[in-house]
Chain A
Amino acid sequence: MLGAGMDTTTFTKKTLGLETVEPALTPPTGNAPAFTKKPKLGSGKSRTKKREMPEGLWTKCPTCETMLFDKELDENLKVCMKCNHHFPIGSRERIHSLVETCTFEEMDAAMSSVDVLHFKGASTYASKLEAYRKNTPLKDAVVTGLCRIGDQRVALGVMDFNFLGGSMGSVVGEKLTRLIERGTEKGLPVIIISASGGARMYEGMFSLMQMAKTSAALAYHAQRGLPYLSILTHPTTAGVMASYATLGDLILAEPGAMIGFAGPRVIKDTTQAELPPGFQTAEFLLDHGLIDAIVSRQAMKAQLIAYLEFFTAGKKAAAAQ
């Protein structure tokens, strides 16, 4: 069940223009504006390359069906201006929306997965990895680094669903563990933003063990009295849910995000029961007591700053006494 939905080979309509986004948060420099490039139409591949799309592309909101002008949608952090539907967002854009300009120092940017089991399925893991590395600007499903949010130094990890369904293999586990350990060592809060189908089955038991590894690192981070904030975005499920995603001092979620342990189809097949309305959404989990708050993408940064101030102010006051 940890593999639920991880085998996503189809991309969303577009990969959110990640290809030419600067890796860190340096201000954009001399990139050719999108409209100077001639759009390639008709080939299936070009659908994943936003920069090759014609200027003035519109996106239809899947919730309210409003046609949204892409430029405005981008400026609104990929949130529907009309109904607040949260479109998926890549890790780089997410980081850009949260951290202070030029403060993101990426860690372990060059780490990448290996096919340790020599996994042979319908296609090999090695070929999958190659395809995703080629078709996305990513090396794996998480970007980690130290940064500043407001006045607060933070260890930040952001998962990316565009890489193999955000599945957690050795690289995701190792990068997050190093991030948490760095946070512990430097006395920094940790924030992890999840988007994942769960453990990466192509790495077999190595994937499962990342759950224990990341949770163990968080145990020592918590032991030092440091804050950990977990943010759940669409979708967060399975092995990621059953490890660091649910271990936050605060657990926040984006509106409408699908969040759960077992996949809805697995539950339906196992129990032969109808699933309740709104099952496994952020709102459902708020009602059932798992989530501290649902925070929209535009409000997230200000909320994080506010929460962090409460955590650090309490410590400071106690230390002063």
Chain B
Amino acid sequence: MKHQLDFEKPVVELQNKLNDLRQHPEKHSLGISFEEEIRMIEEKLEETRRQIFQNLTAWQRVQLARHPKRPYTLDYIRHAFTDFHELHGDRLFAEDRAMVGGFARLGGHRVVVIGTQKGRDTKENILRNFGSAHPEGYRKALRLMRLADKFDLPIVTLIDTAGAYPGVAAEERHIAEAIAVNLREMTLLKVPIIAAVIGEGGSGGALGIGVADRVLILENAYYSVISPEGCAAILWKDRANAAKAAAALKITALDLLKFKLVDEVVPEPLGGAHTDPAAAAANLKQHLLQNLEQVLAQSVAERLQTRYAKFRAHGHFVEQTESTANGVVPQAAT
């Protein structure tokens, strides 16, 4: 395996050894049986995997979320959806290839699927702008979501972006406004919206397609208000402290679930989604379908009310009235 993270090394080495043994059945002709050895290595591999991947730090998960082999939006669309018909353009300025979308089928449901798309190699990354959309991406997403709303098609969004693109052109065409309008308009769309963070949930760029009835997150994905590096640069004046920042920001799937900032964590194959993309996609499909069917069962009024209440509830603060200002325990609200 060409791309590997430091902490993946022991697993990758064992895996290579195992593959080697399996690929040389001719050695059996010498009368030596490798079966025992293969079984032992398999056991050791499982054990090593469990040890490493069941106790990942926040920073390790960030690295997994950014793994160059991790399945991207179009990979999930290929594996978990069928009948994808891509639709292009924001009808205003350009086609932004960092944001993909179109018709697709999820199980028995016809839906509109939208997601940020990273590139696999340099050439594709230039095309996809490394998964960071310009205003056109967010406006295209909204155009497709309105289309879905008009024709009663549920919306699925897949989020995997380091953030909206910080560039001169993006500012000139008002990327902040494009995101803000999406936040407002997604609140009022009548059809079900299911969002899933599949890799990086980079701040406003992620939220710009993330206002949904259900927000899911893959086990090793992260969702954060600021990149760990950006936070480290501000707090420690040094991006090298990104690991500390990642831990402080509480950005892992399990942390977010604990704070009820996401609705569900979608398990990944042990070792990360990239070790078995088909299995990861099957898990995601199952969770998307299950949530979609639950939200479809709601009336439109109930759906919109629940969606509003869900985002309305995010926040922690205290309210001290005049009489409790001096030492009386303040009433906590969430």
Query: Residues of A with Cβ closer than 8 Å to B?
Result: 1-4, 6-7, 108, 110-114, 116-117, 119-122, 170-171, 173-174, 177, 199, 201, 203-213, 215-220, 222-223, 238-239, 241-247, 260-263, 266-267, 270-271, 273, 275-276, 279-280, 285, 288-290
Contacts and interface: CB of A to CB of B under 8 A. Distances in A.
A279 B316 contact: no
Interface in B224-264: 224-227, 230-231, 234-236, 244-245, 248-251, 256, 259, 261
Interface residues of B, number: 62
A204 B318 contact: no
B168 A279 contact: yes
Nearest to B188: A219
A247 B168 CA distance: 21
A207 B184 CA distance: 17
A266 to B, nearest CB: 5
Interface centre among B174, B204, B256 (most CB of A within 10 A): B204
Interface stretch (B75-83, B105-113, B306-314): B306-314
Contacts of B256: 205
Nearest to A289: B174
Contacts of B245: 121
A245 B249 contact: no
8 contacts: A117-B250, A120-B248, A208-B204, A215-B187, A215-B211, A219-B188, A242-B183, A262-B164
Interface centre among A110, A215, A247, A288 (most CB of B within 10 A): A215
A217 B211 CA distance: 13
B248 A3 contact: no
B325 interface: yes
A3 B225 CA distance: 8
Given A199-B225, A212-B183, A276 B168 contact: yes
Contacts of B332: 114
B187 A204 contact: no
Contacts of B173: 288
A279 B249 CA distance: 31
B184 A216 contact: yes
Contacts of A203: 225, 316
Interface centre among B174, B175, B259, B307 (most CB of A within 10 A): B174
Contacts of B231: 3, 121, 201
A261 B166 CA distance: 8
B203 to A, nearest CB: 5
B168 A275 contact: yes
Contacts of B311: 209, 212-213, 216
B192 to A, nearest CB: 16
A1 B175 CA distance: 13
B170 interface: yes
B320 interface: yes
A205 B168 contact: no
Contacts of A121: 231, 235-236, 244-245, 248
B86 interface: no
Contacts of B250: 117, 204-205
Given A205-B224, A290-B174, A112 B168 contact: no
B261 to A, nearest CB: 5
Given A110-B322, A242-B164, 13 more contacts: A111-B317, A113-B317, A201-B234, A201-B249, A206-B315, A207-B225, A209-B207, A209-B314, A210-B314, A213-B315, A219-B188, A260-B171, A276-B168
Nearest to B238: A122
Contacts of A276: 168
Nearest to A181: B312
Nearest to A230: B180
A170 B230 contact: no
Contact of B188 (A201, A223, A242): A223
Nearest to A120: B248
